[in-house]
Amino acid sequence: MASKKKKVRVEMKKNRAKPPRGNDLTRVFGDGTGAADDAESGERVRAKGDLSRRRTVVESDDPAEGDAGPLVRGRVLRVHGLASVVEADDGTVYRCAVRRLLKTLATDERNAVATGDIVWLRPSGVISHQSSVIRQTPGGPPGAEGPSTDDQGLMTNDQGPMTAEGLITRVEPRHGVLTRESRRREHVLVANVDQLAIVISLVQPDLKPHLIDRYLAAAYQGGLNPILCLNKADLADPAEFQPLVGAYAQLGVPAVLTSAQTGAGVGRLRELLRGRATVFSGQSGVGKSSLLNAIEPGLALAVKSVSEVNQKGRHTTTYAQLIKLATGGWVVDTPGVRQLALWDAQPGAVEGFFGEFRPFVPLCTFPDCSHTHEGGCAVKAAVARRQVSARRYHSYLGMFRGAAE
């Protein structure tokens, strides 16, 4: 039985529009020929032009059926500019472009496709130099024999790339996303994961508690379970950070003190990752790739030391990549971020990211209390009585003001 098709009206991407009118009206008026008197005048209730138009898209109820035949289902392993690396359900790896329609529909997103997306693609090329099923590997230890990888992480041999070509035509609805605001657009770092490992170093670079709070808010906003990983425990006294660990443990956030050099805490972190899809995120230089190398020996992810000039991390990981663990589950190694701005967060919703506020919110004098300047605010009173952390309240104020702007 043939699948039913339906027509859907969608918005057009605004950067693909022509100017609503000519930009030479003033020049025509000043040339003295009177041509401006003959120009079309009048006003329209609804603007005429590409900015006001919508596009009709024909969708099929069966996602495996495309406009030109059956499609292949897969998961995005990496995104490199205009090319995406997708592993199909049968293990075949495709280097894919993205259908222009998807880019047109992504009016608010920085990229139409993100690492971890479940997509449907149309194979458009033949597999070259393949004698068996191709499976993408993140690399092997130095000196190991076997196929190498190119600059996009695709396996190669002496005869050329071992991959197939394809065109991504559809992206399945996402769940469990880590996203941020980038130049007033949504930047989805990774999609379809279960938990977020917030990797923060105790030293080199220094610990930033406010960045932890922002990551926690991003995790709650995206439906992710947070894990706090305090790395480089071998370079500091862990006893000094026990109050911080206890504070987040009271909020229900598991906290692990780890060291990629000594292996401390790596075993516990490995158990937290087992059987789940986890994204590792944090500043540059905190040791995300080093921890993954310790968790999964043989990954051989590139690492760099912290700059001796400013004690800041150096960008080593340049793209988010999905890696399958031998112990079960997936991890996503992401590039370091210098700041994390919440995407599309409403001011009134920010208090929901702070669970310790909940017992006091109903006690506020005003039902729409923002907990910033109002009198009779129970949350501010709890901060004064040290029932709520003053540092966490300061993080709330920063996120509330950012959302209000």
pLDDT recorded at residue 12: 58
CATH class assigned to 186-333: alpha beta
Q: Tell me: the pLDDT tens digits for 201-210?
A: 999 888 999 9
Q: Which residues pair with 181 in a beta bridge?
A: 186
Q: Where in the chain is the domain with CATH 2.40.50.140?
A: 65-171
Q: Tell me: the pLDDT tens digits for 97-121?
A: 998 888 777 667 778 899 999 999 9
pLDDT band for 63, please (50, 70, 90 cuts): low
pLDDT band for 22, please (50, 70, 90 cuts): low
Q: Give whole-number Cα distances, 205 to 21, 264, 293, 352, 395, in Å.
A: 52, 19, 20, 30, 20
> Using CA atoms, how far apart are residues 252 and 230, in angstroms rounded to an integer?
16
pLDDT band for 375, please (50, 70, 90 cuts): very high
Q: Which CATH architecture has domain 347-404?
A: Orthogonal Bundle (1.10)
Q: Taking all residues of the chain, what is their mean pLDDT, rounded to a whole number?
A: 79
Q: Is the pTM of this model over 0.85?
A: no
DSSP string over 140-157: --TT--S-EE-TTS-EEE
Q: Give whole-number Cα distances, 88 to 92, 120, 132, in Å.
A: 5, 9, 15
Q: Where in the chain is the domain with CATH 1.10.40.50?
A: 347-404
pLDDT beyond 70 at 20: no
Q: Give whole-number Cα distances, 371 to 353, 387, 403, in Å.
A: 14, 15, 14
Homologous superfamily in CATH for domain 65-171: Nucleic acid-binding proteins (2.40.50.140)
pLDDT beyond 80 at 180: yes
pLDDT beyond 50 at 18: yes
Q: Where in the chain is the domain with CATH 3.40.50.300?
A: 186-333
The position carrying tokens 């808010």 is 217
